[in-house]
Structure 1
């Protein structure tokens, strides 16, 4: 079985790949770029989505910062090279309200908050998935290396249900495509 067939089988959608629109969360890094390229090559109708999370007045020049301006530009270049649409979601206000404010309040209470977890529970996966669905995507793919097994070998596709304790691992309808590869192959 060739690799495109493995991708199609692991995703488990009925019919031709070209009949399915899939959003890819694009950080601008290698993993999300490879995910977009693999889905596109397998024939899916792919588009990229990046998040702008910081206030315009704050200069973020470190490309290791989550969704920094530099990284968004890299994501756009990858999407342009693949010939797919790229959307930039300005979530700076949501990020501040739902992640940074909570982080600050927790820190002031003497706790050791992890802002990435809160971002995953709100802005990153919930809001981005909702945007993707509005754009007609049947799912959101990421460059994360997460293996999940569900009945009959299908590793994806259960309806999204929001709960207060939700973590990003509980959100289904998200593909973790790179589980099919060893990291060294990327």
Structure 2
């Protein structure tokens, strides 16, 4: 069968994964176009907090992506999504924290920025596909598409991609999904990419110093959510300086004494209360998600599946029951600790993502 050359836009973040993605596709003979999202006013942070901006999507990353594209001899564009990012991701991030939830902005960024807005730009350039450096796979079977885990369990990113639709998966490529990180770095060295040994970012891209409390207070102001720390029994144990400083499962930084170790087991933003209890109070046998997404048909009734309640959580067997108004109930076989409102619960059958939603 003759090779069919395609026009492919590669979302280039300036890191090793997306750089190798672009290099591999060009090596295969495709027409490759590099595209980087400018999503943040980098000058604003450096002016207020110094010169270091050590996370993905920084100004240095944009420069790295441009230089890689130049080295590969491919066209390169920067698209400005700052307004969309502020409205769709940052504002939602702040809203969630001030409502007592712990959001995962990477899920929303992938959903709205990469696979809606950036995919739309790719289509405007008459590209056949949008490719990214995610460690996940898309498998077609009889015209239907499914999202699968990346083969490297340590790097699998399917958890962040559960909102992908059939139409999006038809237009998206994950060339690294069958590789390990070591293999990707070996390709980077083979291509002599300047980012071959670049460290991976660990922080939220718009909180580059990791101080999300400072970021929230800069965005919304301090002192608005001060209140009491209350034991599950109702006893007041102390005070706090903002419910947004706490997340379910947290043990450190409570500043209170008790006969047993205490953990944050709930946040009541309306009453400005941080609720604490012993480890046993972290256990939950079930949860409910809203904004449930099913990449195929919505199940007609309950189904058995595995459920992951945070990125580094090992999936657990559960009964998943679709509910009205885009919700679903998850009933675990064994109680789970650290069920956190605002995080994603993602459902798997083996390595296949069958759905997910945001924990209420």
TM-score bracket, shorter-length normalisation: 0.7 to 0.9
Partner of 2:39: 53
Q: Structure 2 stretches of 5 or more lacking a match?
A: 147-160, 185-360
Post-superposition CA distance 1:54-78 (Å, at most 9, x none) = 1254135555423111101000000
Post-superposition CA distance 1:15-68 (Å, at most 9, x none) = 6443x1000010111110001000001000000110111125413555542311
* Total equivalences in the alignment: 163
State how far apart, in whole Å, the 2-side matches of 1:15 and 1:103 are: 48
The correspondence for 2:93, drawn from 103, 106, 127, is 103
Which structure is richer in relative contact order (CA contacts within 8 A, separation 6 or more)? 1
2:93 aligns to what SS in structure 1?
A: helix
| Offset at residue 155 of structure 1 (A) | 7.2
| Offset at residue 168 of structure 1 (A) | 4.5
The correspondence for 1:113, drawn from 103, 116, 121, is 103
| Offset at residue 182 of structure 1 (A) | 2.6
Partner of 1:91: 81
The correspondence for 2:8, drawn from 22, 26, 32, is 22
- TM-score normalised by length of structure 1: 0.79
Greater strand proportion = 2
Answer yes or no: is the 8 Å Cα contact 2:111–2:164 preserved in 1.
no
State how far apart, in whole Å, the 1-side matches of 2:9 and 2:52 are: 26
Partner of 1:181: 179
Distance change (3 Å), C-alpha of 1:122 and 1:15: farther
Kindly name which structure, 1 or 2, has the bigger radius of gyration based on alpha carbons.
2
Post-superposition CA distance 1:74-118 (Å, at most 9, x none) = 000000000001110111111001111111111110111111111
Partner of 2:141: 151
Partner of 1:77: 67
The correspondence for 1:44, drawn from 30, 36, 46, is 30
Segments ≥4 residues shifted beyond 4 Å: 60-64
RMSD over aligned Cα, in angstroms?
A: 2.4
Say yes or no: does 1:140 pair with 2:130: yes
